[in-house]
Amino acid sequence: MSHTLFAALNLIEPGDIVLYHGSIPAHHGLYIAHPCTCFDCARADHLGTTDVRYRLTDPFDENTDPTTLRCVRRRSITRSAANA
C-alpha cells in the first residue's frame, strides 16, 4: 500500500512518529508506534477484533527495554506531522 494511501486513511504505519494523548498524562508525548504483539493483543486478533492496538517506544530513551506503553488504542494517538 502506498504511503499516500496510508496517509489518506489516517492509518498508523509501523515506525511512524505519533503523539500519545491517552489516559496516562505522565506519558503524553512523542513515540515510535509499532503494532502491539503482546499475548492479549494476539489473542484478541485471533478472535477477530478490529480494535487495533499499538505498542509505543520512546525514541529518546536509551534504556535497554525501550517499550514504554503497550495496548494503546488508536484514539489515544495521533500521527505526527513529523512524518511528512
Binding to Zn ion, residues 43-82 (CB under 5 A)? 53, 70-71
Q: Cβ 37 to Zn ion, closest distance in Å?
A: 7
Instruction: Give CA–CA dist 18/30, Å, rounded.
Output: 6
**Binding residue for Zn ion, selected from 38, 51, 73, 78, defined by CB under 5 A:** 38
Kind and range of the H or E element at 39? helix 39-46
36 binds Zn ion per the rule CB under 5 A: yes
Instruction: Name the residue nearer to Zn ion (CB basis): 18 or 41.
Output: 41
**CB of 16 closer than 8 Å to CB of 37:** no
